[in-house]
């Protein structure tokens, strides 16, 4: 069964949401040194540029599905697209860090609105299994292309000389794409009847946002302020706040009320171990990109363009591996993940030796980034499949929402902790490596420890299926 031209058009329009979200998640990584220099940002302000984007997205991820049911999925998708386009303009015109941070938070919130609706609309429009699989395959491929394109553009655009402060182009390019996608979605995507009987738990959504801010804030400010007592108190209070939030959610669930979390999911051992593996893995992923792009530009004197091109090799390796392993995940998921993790650890160790040279050989760098990308592409698609594969169909939707929320929280923690170590470590050299800073070496060592944690969670996964019953 083949897709017609109008089908491909609808898929492309609905994939624009995930395209913009992913491209802006990656495009910022290579551009950060240019933004930091122009706006004279502190290290903590640099971290918040990424974290607020992710927190805004994560806070709405679970509630957004119900919002689409309540108000109409097309309407929420259009609101999200309009919000993302407007917030991109705010980011592009920002002359203070506070305006930029507000724009990034609004971008994340807008992404949290439109991304879940795009998937739901595709599922509704393509009811035949074969067409739906093709549509979702194209959707996933577009997200993969966005990750590569984001890193490339994040390097090329800040190097442009025909405009002052050319890093602003990384946000300006979203505007024509967003406007075009908005009007095309309005004209071509059919309206699905809303279901106003569903409940939207806004209080829980704001609580989740508050919990994340309270947890991340002291982790970012602590190293910069040398851990004053009020920061330690704030961190302890945030942990108590998290425990209270979870207890409150559990009490509401036991009473049969609507909650963000379906606690019956945690009766499934595979799901729990999958969440643990995802938490450790995603603490490494985004921090890795930011640390390496910063290190190449600041310490190895790469231009943004050179850095962006180098990371394209990593992206190509990721896409190739993810396509290959997709056929074998269901039967050999544990082995595949462990092979990929081994490749990633070997890749990180190789990074240390390549960066320890006074002049980094371009071909060696491209080769090791490609190899590391192969490892990422082997692990990342497998993690979610393994975590969700034994859940009953009725629980897959909410299970994937919780998984993706944990994924975004882990990204925030990685940027706060792993990137924080890199930004604040003042020691000169790592071990006996004279051309390698201690900050880079130690943060890489932390990443290796976290990947080892992923391996432990993976090894603990039972081989026998333990299907979760739905009552």
CATH of the domain at 161: 1.20.1250.20
> How many structural domains comprise the chain?
3
Query: Does 209 share its domain with 175?
Result: no
**Could you tell me if residue 216 is inside a domain?**
yes
Query: Does 352 share its domain with 391?
Result: yes
* Domain, as residue range, for 235: 205-259
**Could you tell me if residue 471 is inside a domain?**
no
**Could you tell me if residue 15 is inside a domain?**
yes
Report whether 290 contacts 415 (CB < 8 A): yes
Which residues, in sequence order, are CB contacts of 335 under 8 Å at separation 6+? none
Query: Does 245 share its domain with 283?
Result: no
* 176, 244, 282, 362 from 260: Cα distances, Å: 35, 14, 21, 47
- What whole-number distance in Å separates Cα of residue 136 and Cα of residue 14? 11
Classify the phi-psi angles of 130: left when phi > 0, otherwise alpha if psi is within -120 to 50, otherwise beta: alpha
Query: Does 160 share its domain with 13?
Result: yes
Query: Does 250 share its domain with 372?
Result: no
pTM higher than 0.75, yes or no?
yes
pLDDT in 10s for each residue of the chain, 471 residues: 577 888 888 888 988 998 999 899 889 988 888 898 888 888 888 889 989 998 888 878 767 767 777 788 889 899 999 999 999 999 999 989 999 999 999 999 999 888 888 878 887 888 776 777 777 777 777 877 888 888 899 889 988 888 888 899 999 999 999 999 999 999 988 887 766 666 666 677 777 778 888 888 888 888 878 888 988 998 898 889 888 888 888 888 888 777 777 788 888 888 899 899 999 999 998 899 999 999 999 899 899 999 999 999 998 998 888 888 877 776 777 888 999 999 999 999 999 999 999 899 999 999 999 999 999 988 887 887 788 777 776 666 677 778 888 888 898 899 888 988 898 887 888 888 888 999 999 999 999 999 999 999 999 988 755 444 444
Query: Does 81 share its domain with 176?
Result: yes
């Amino acid at each position: 069964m083949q897709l017609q031209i109008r089908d491909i058009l609808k898929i492309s329009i609905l994939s624009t949401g995930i395209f913009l979200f992913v491209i802006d998640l990656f495009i910022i990584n290579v551009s950060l040194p240019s933004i930091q220099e122009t706006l004279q940002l502190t290290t903590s302000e640099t971290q918040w540029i990424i974290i607020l984007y992710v927190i805004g997205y994560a806070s709405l991820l679970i509630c957004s599905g119900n919002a689409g049911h309540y108000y109409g999925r097309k309407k929420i998708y259009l609101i999200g697209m309009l919000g993302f386009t407007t917030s991109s303009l705010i980011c592009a015109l920002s002359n203070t860090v506070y305006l930029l941070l507000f724009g990034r938070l609004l971008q994340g919130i807008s992404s949290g609105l439109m991304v879940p609706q795009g998937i739901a609309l595709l599922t509704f429009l393509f009811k035949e299994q074969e067409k739906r699989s093709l549509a979702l395959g194209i959707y996933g491929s577009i997200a993969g292309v966005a990750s590569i394109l984001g890193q490339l553009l994040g390097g090329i655009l800040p190097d442009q000389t025909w405009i002052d402060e050319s890093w602003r182009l990384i946000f300006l390019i979203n505007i024509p794409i967003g406007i075009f996608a908005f009007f095309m979605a309005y004209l071509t995507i059919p309206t699905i009847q809303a279901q106003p009987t569903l409940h939207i738990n806004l209080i829980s959504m704001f609580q989740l946002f508050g919990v994340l801010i309270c947890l991340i804030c002291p982790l970012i400010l602590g190293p910069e302020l040398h851990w004053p007592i009020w920061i330690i108190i704030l961190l302890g209070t945030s942990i108590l706040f998290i425990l209270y939030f979870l207890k409150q959610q559990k009490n509401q669930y036991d009473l049969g009320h609507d909650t963000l979390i379906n606690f019956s999911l945690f009766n499934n051992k595979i799901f729990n171990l999958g969440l643990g593996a995802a938490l450790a893995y995603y603490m490494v992923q985004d921090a890795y990109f930011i640390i390496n792009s910063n290190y190449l530009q600041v310490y190895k004197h790469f231009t943004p363009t050179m850095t962006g091109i180098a990371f394209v090799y990593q992206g190509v390796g990721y896409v190739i591996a993810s396509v290959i392993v997709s056929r074998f995940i269901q039967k050999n998921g544990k082995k595949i993940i462990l092979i990929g993790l081994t490749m990633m650890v070997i890749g990180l160790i190789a990074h240390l030796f390549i960066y320890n040279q006074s002049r980094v050989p371009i071909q060696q760098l491209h080769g090791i980034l490609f190899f590391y990308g192969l490892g990422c592409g082997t692990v990342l698609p497998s993690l979610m499949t393994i975590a969700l594969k034994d859940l009953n169909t009725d629980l897959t939707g909410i299970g994937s929402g919780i998984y993706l929320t944990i994924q975004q929280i882990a990204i925030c923690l990685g940027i706060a902790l792993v990137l924080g170590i890199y930004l604040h470590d003042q020691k000169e050299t790592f071990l006996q490596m004279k051309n390698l800073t201690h900050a880079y070496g130690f943060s890489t060592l932390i990443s290796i420890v976290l990947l080892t944690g992923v391996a432990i969670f993976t090894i603990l996964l039972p081989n026998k299926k333990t299907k979760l019953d739905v009552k």
